[in-house]
Amino acid sequence: MDREAEKVVEKPEDISSPLSNTQADGPQEQDLTSQVINIPETNRKIGFAEYGSKSGTPVVYLHGLPGSRFEASLWEANATALDVRLIGLDRPGMGLSTRDSARTMTAYPTDVATVAQHLKLDKYFILAVSGGGGYALACAAQKDKLPGLQGVGVVGGLGPRNMTQQGMGLIQRLSFHAMDWVPNGVVGWMWDAMIGKSARNPDPTVLEKAVKKLLATEVKGADADIAKDKSNLRSVTDSLRGAFIQGSHGYVDEANLVVKPWGFDLEDIKGIQVRLWYGEKDNLAPPAAGKAMADKIPNAVFTRYEGESHTSSVMRHQKEILTALCGLSIGSES
């Protein structure tokens, strides 16, 4: 790419940065969790955060829906342990990234290429979770735009509409169909009422309470212990704060893209290793959908975790996933 981009570290006036970064006293180091690339040609910005080892194997992390760059912090401990440099991106309309209401899923590899070029990533991997799955596969399908891309991993990723609904829970299926007939403004209003307004409230405890309430409703059984972990709760809260800091339109844009045709065929993915991991009991991104996608992607590797859900498949297998994706050796840590 020849597009020029200027990377700057900003201290935004909004509240999308984790509170720990705004309350430190004395001299402050570069805030790696709120970095911005300016793209003068399109008057856009791309926000990103870095976690783990600064000199480790680069992995570009694509968050779920809703989510933001801070979601990558859920993987920070294992990224550090495995010498992985995790780079979480904000998609347009979320966090620090400028909204682009006309964007498409197939245009997203250009954003990834911009970040990779600016950070001088000669070789890197992509890891996507849940709603980020389609974007990761779009990158795999357009590997020619991403010459340094070595492999793609998807954990509990939503698939194309005609595949995803097999095994999906009733509420999730209704949510997919609702995007066909419910006005975007109504969808945005609903998400604002549920979490968006709390995310933009300057009192951080308001969002924390809303997230706890949401998790108590949505996360059951053994997953509840994962959700109650203070570190995990903080990461989820920060991620949702970033997701809705600009309003709910970023979520609505994403939801429309996920339920519509993606603009590429899975069979188009060639010449790159794609790995997919799914939980057996995941009713949001069912394993049947993951297997159907793997069957269409040449040489894809599909793994199903017995007894695991959408949440636990992400949280309990991070070391294994990063190791397989990057071809790392964890030695005695295995």
Query: Each residue of 225-274: pLDDT tens digit?
Result: 777 788 988 999 999 999 999 999 999 999 999 989 999 999 999 999 99
- Give a yes or no: residue 204 inside a domain: no
Task: Supply 48's token pair.
Answer: 């990103």
pLDDT at 252: 94
174 or 193, which is more confident: 193
Locate 208 and state its tokens. Answer: 């924390």
Asked if pLDDT for residue 20 goes beyond 50, the answer is no
Q: How many domains does the chain contain in total?
A: 1
Mean pLDDT on 130-146:
97
Rounded mean pLDDT, 62-81: 97
Q: Judge whether residue 83 has pLDDT over 90.
A: yes
Which stretch, 75-79, 211-215, 219-223, has highest mean pLDDT? 75-79
- The residue whose two tokens read 């893209």 is 257
Helix, strand, or coil here: 40? coil
Q: Place 1 in a pLDDT band, splitting at 50, 70 and 90.
A: very low
- Banded pLDDT at 170 (limits 50, 70, 90): low
pLDDT at 7 over 70: no
| Cβ-based neighbour number of residue 51 at 10 Å | 25
Residue 224 maps to a domain: no
Flag whether 319 is in a domain. yes
Predicted local confidence at residue 222, as pLDDT: 62
Q: What is the band of 333 on the pLDDT scale with cuts at 50, 70, 90?
A: very low
**List of residues 6+ apart from 118 with CB closer than 8 A:** 5, 7, 37
Average pLDDT in the 124-151 region?
97
Is 164 part of any domain? Answer: yes
Q: Report whether 242 contacts 68 (CB < 8 A).
A: yes
Domain, as residue range, for 322: 6-18+28-175+258-333
> How much is the pLDDT for 149?
97
Residues ≥6 apart with Cβ < 8 Å to 308? 279, 280, 281, 282, 316, 317
* Integer Cα distance of 254 and 316 in angstroms: 27
Of 107, 74, 121, 83, whose CA–CA distance to 226 is shortest?
74
Q: Do 143 and 117 touch, CB atoms closer than 8 A? A: no
Give the CATH number, domain containing residue 135.
3.40.50.1820
Per-residue pLDDT tens digits for 281-306: 888 889 999 999 999 999 999 999 99
pTM recorded for the entire structure: 0.88
| Per-residue pLDDT at 57 | 97
Is residue 148 assigned to a domain?
yes
Residue 207 forms part of a structural domain: no
- The verdict on residue 154 lying in a domain is yes
Token code pair at residue 258: 């996920």
- Residue 112 near residue 146 (C-beta atoms within 8 A): yes
Model confidence at 187, in pLDDT bands (50, 70, 90)? confident
Supply the mean pLDDT for the chain: 86
The reply to whether 328 falls in a domain is: yes
**Does the structure show a pLDDT above 60 at 22?**
no
Is pLDDT at 6 greater than 90 in this prediction? no
Distances 52 to 103, 231, 245, 308 between C-alpha atoms, Å: 30, 15, 25, 25
8 Å CB contact between 85 and 50: yes
